[in-house]
């Protein structure tokens, strides 16, 4: 039997209501806060991701789906949304307005990771990006939108972790000191981190391996190395979060895995997901637009992993709506008349269904029950002959005879 690719998941009919629910809330809340939707391609030139995300990150080092196009150019399935959004806003001159540009997106991302609960090779994100201001209020606006998204979905026990990783100059000084500290721990940390020591030492703080977490317990914090400007900016973010009542936990170990982040970084975790506990994350990326050859433009955004959110939603968000009418037509003469009625019901905007596999009344009514229809319209050859139909109330099981002409008129009048 043909099977799907490892790490990819079908979203089955019983799950799609949950997905629509998440998507509807995402569209509603983002729009409410003045974000406009952008839809970008799911693959781009590899160079875009390599340049923006950073060569020494997990994503670029080992997680990208990269393949040559027929002309030899290197393409990559998008592993995240921000790089593509920045490429698009530059290409279409969307930053050339005096006000801030606020965009959001929904869609699949692709990373070649080890598949496990909450970690897939194709997964979906809802993300927002706000360009054009470094005002700490924008940081708070973005975090508040993320928080509101989860609260609207009814998620409980969430923690907002927040940190500032400063600007590149702050980081440069800190990294020297961190390396001095880590040089005494090189023997104990994991192989991955030994490599990171020279390529991307900040990531060692973020390593999930217990020995590495222990080894870095006493490490100096970036937080203590922030310039006055970064520290003041961060304090304003915290003050405003407090004033609007969003609870947060300062987490000095929170460094994001992508190179383009600066200053405010944040993650929201749930205790109900096991190892893959982060359901949304984001931060400032004040240098990225310029890095991609745009005008110097501060920016901040987040991305939510919708599969992980779905794992936290109650199973039955809302079941698919059952039909109001089930049309039970059987017999050679009756079936085409019944089909016409079914068509008229749908044209009139009424939820209606039938079952072509059932050929006698008993099995038709069983199907009607299974679908949860409120009424059945019964039409056999006898009824076709007398131009009548039987309306059966599926709950009370009472039946009423009606003229075909009459029901047809009634449906049309609803149109
Ligand atoms: P993680 O530490 O879990 O690998 P990340 O830092 O790589 O996450 P981001 O790039 O910040 O993740 O993506 C934002 C969100 O997208 C994550 O918080 C998570 O909810 C979700 N996400 C990331 N990778 C996957 C994946 N492979 N499968 C499902 N969801 C994912
Ligand atoms: Mg990852």
For 216-231, what is the mean pLDDT? Answer: 92
* Sheet of 325-329, strands arranged across: 352-353, 325-329, 375-379, 388-393, 399-403
pLDDT at 259 over 80: no
Does one domain contain both 299 and 410?
Answer: no
Do 395 and 287 fall within a single domain? no
Domain of 330, in residue numbers: 325-414
- Give the closest residue (by CA) to ligand 1 atom 9: 281
Report yes or no on 207 lying in a domain: no
How is 258-271 classified by DSSP, letter by letter?
STT-EEEEEEEE-T
Query: Per-residue confidence at 316, pLDDT binned at 50, 70, 90?
Result: low
- Give the residue whose CA is nearest to atom 22 of ligand 1: 305
Cβ contact 127:105 at 8 Å:
yes
The H or E element containing residue 399 is: strand 399-403
Q: What pLDDT, on a 0 to 100 scale, did the predictor assign at position 261?
A: 86
Beta strand pairing status for 159-164 and 399-403? unpaired
Q: Is 303 in the pocket of ligand 1 (CB under 6 A)?
A: yes
* Closest to 150 in 3D by CA, of 306, 328, 274: 306
Determine, yes or no, domain membership for 213. Answer: no
Looking at the 3D structure of the chain, how many domains does it have? 2
The pLDDT score that the predictor gives to residue 318 is 65
Residue nearest to atom 26 of ligand 1 (CA): 119
pLDDT of residue 264 exceeding 70: yes
Q: Does ligand 1 have an atom closer than 6 angstroms to the CB of 206?
A: no
What is the SS3 assignment for 32? helix
- Is pLDDT larger for residue 407 or for residue 247? 247
Residue 175, in any domain of the structure: no
Determine the distance separating the centroid of ligand 1 and the alpha carbon of 58, expressed in angstroms: 11
What does the pLDDT look like over 334-373, one tens digit per residue? 999 999 999 999 999 999 999 999 989 999 999 999 999 9
Confidence tier at 253 by pLDDT (50, 70, 90): confident
The 10s digit of each residue's pLDDT in 286-299 is 999 999 999 999 99
Distance 378 CA to ligand 2 centre (A): 56
In a domain, 356, yes or no: yes
Where is the domain boundary, 250, 281, 310? 310
| 220 within a domain of the structure (yes/no) | no
User: Residue 338 is part of a domain; what is its CATH number?
Assistant: 3.40.50.800
Q: In sequence order, which residues have a C-beta less than 8 Å from that of residue 188 and are 6 or more positions away?
A: 211, 215
Indicate whether 259 and 383 sit together in one domain.
no
Distance 387 CA to ligand 2 centre (A): 65
Instruction: Read off the pLDDT of residues 112-154 as tens digits, 9 standing for 90 and up.
Output: 999 999 999 999 999 999 999 999 999 999 999 999 999 999 9
Q: Cα–Cα distance between 350 and 411 in angstroms, integer?
A: 9
**Distance (Å, rounded) from C-alpha 378 to C-alpha 373?**
13
What is the pLDDT at residue 317? 65
Question: Is ligand 1 within 6 A of the CB of residue 278?
Answer: yes
Same domain, 241 and 110: yes
Q: Is 70 exposed, middle or buried (0-12, 13-18, 19+ CB in 10 A)?
A: exposed
Q: What is the CATH number of the domain that holds 54?
A: 3.30.930.10
pLDDT (tens digit per residue) in 374-401? 999 999 999 999 999 999 999 999 999 9
* 147-200 residue pLDDT tens: 999 999 999 999 999 999 999 899 888 999 999 999 999 999 999 899 989 888
* 282 and 376 together in one domain: no
Q: Percent of the chain beyond pLDDT 90?
A: 81
Distances (CA, A) of 310 to 268, 307, 378: 15, 5, 40
Residue 279 Cβ < 6 Å to ligand 1: yes
What's the rounded Cα separation, in Å, for the pair 152 and 246?
14
348, 373: one domain? yes
Task: Tell me which of 281, 283, 306 to substitute to probe ligand 1's pocket, judged by most ligand atoms within 8 Å of the beta carbon.
Answer: 281
Which residue minimizes the CA distance to atom 5 of ligand 1?
Answer: 257
For the stretch 139-160, what's the b/e string if a residue is b when 16 or more beta carbons lie within 10 angstroms of its beta carbon? bbbbbbbbbebbeebebeebeb
What mean pLDDT is reported for the chain? 94
Confirm or reject: Cβ of 7 under 6 Å from ligand 1.
no
SS3 category, 327: strand
**Atom 12 of ligand 1: nearest residue by CA position:** 281
pTM of the model: 0.91
| 199, two tokens | 């390529």
């Amino acid at each position: 039997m043909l099977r799907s690719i490892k790490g990819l998941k079908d979203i089955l009919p019983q799950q799609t209501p949950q997905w629509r629910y998440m998507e509807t809330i995402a569209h509603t809340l983002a729009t409410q806060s003045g974000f406009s939707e952008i839809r970008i391609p799911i693959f781009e030139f590899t160079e875009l991701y390599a340049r923006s995300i950073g060569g020494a990150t997990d994503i670029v080092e080992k997680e990208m789906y990269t393949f040559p196009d027929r002309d030899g150019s290197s393409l990559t399935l998008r592993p995240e949304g921000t790089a593509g959004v920045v490429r698009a806003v530059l290409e279409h001159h969307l930053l050339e307005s005096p006000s801030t540009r606020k965009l959001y997106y929904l869609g699949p991302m692709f990373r070649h990771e080890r598949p496990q609960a909450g970690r897939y090779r194709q997964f979906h994100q809802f993300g927002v990006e706000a360009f054009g201001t470094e005002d700490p209020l924008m940081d708070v606006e973005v975090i508040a939108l993320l928080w509101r998204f989860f609260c609207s979905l009814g998620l409980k026990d969430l923690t907002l972790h927040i940190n500032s990783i400063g600007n590149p100059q702050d980081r440069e000084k800190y990294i020297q000191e961190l390396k001095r500290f880590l040089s005494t721990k090189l023997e104990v940390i994991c192989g991955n981190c030994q490599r990171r020591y020279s390529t991307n030492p900040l990531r060692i703080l973020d390593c999930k391996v217990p020995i590495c977490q222990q080894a870095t317990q006493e490490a100096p914090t970036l937080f203590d190395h922030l310039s006055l400007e970064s520290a003041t900016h961060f304090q304003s973010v915290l003050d405003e979060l407090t004033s609007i009542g969003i609870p947060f936990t300062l987490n000095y170990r929170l460094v994001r895995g992508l190179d383009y982040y600066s200053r405010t970084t944040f993650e929201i975790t749930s205790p109900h997901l096991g190892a893959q506990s982060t359901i949304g994350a984001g931060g400032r990326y004040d240098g990225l637009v310029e890095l991609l050859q745009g005008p110097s433009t501060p920016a901040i955004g987040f991305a939510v992993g919708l599969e992980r959110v779905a794992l936290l939603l109650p199973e039955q968000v809302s079941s698919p709506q059952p039909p109001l009418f089930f049309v039970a037509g059987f017999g050679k003469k009756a079936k085409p008349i019944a089909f016409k009625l079914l068509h008229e019901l749908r044209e009139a905007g009424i939820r209606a269904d039938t079952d072509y596999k059932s050929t006698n009344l008993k099995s038709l009514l069983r199907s009607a029950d299974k679908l949860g229809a409120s009424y059945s319209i019964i039409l056999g050859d006898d009824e076709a002959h007398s131009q009548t139909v039987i309306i059966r109330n599926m709950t009370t099981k009472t039946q009423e005879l009606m003229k075909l002409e009459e029901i047809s008129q009634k449906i049309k009048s609803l149109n």
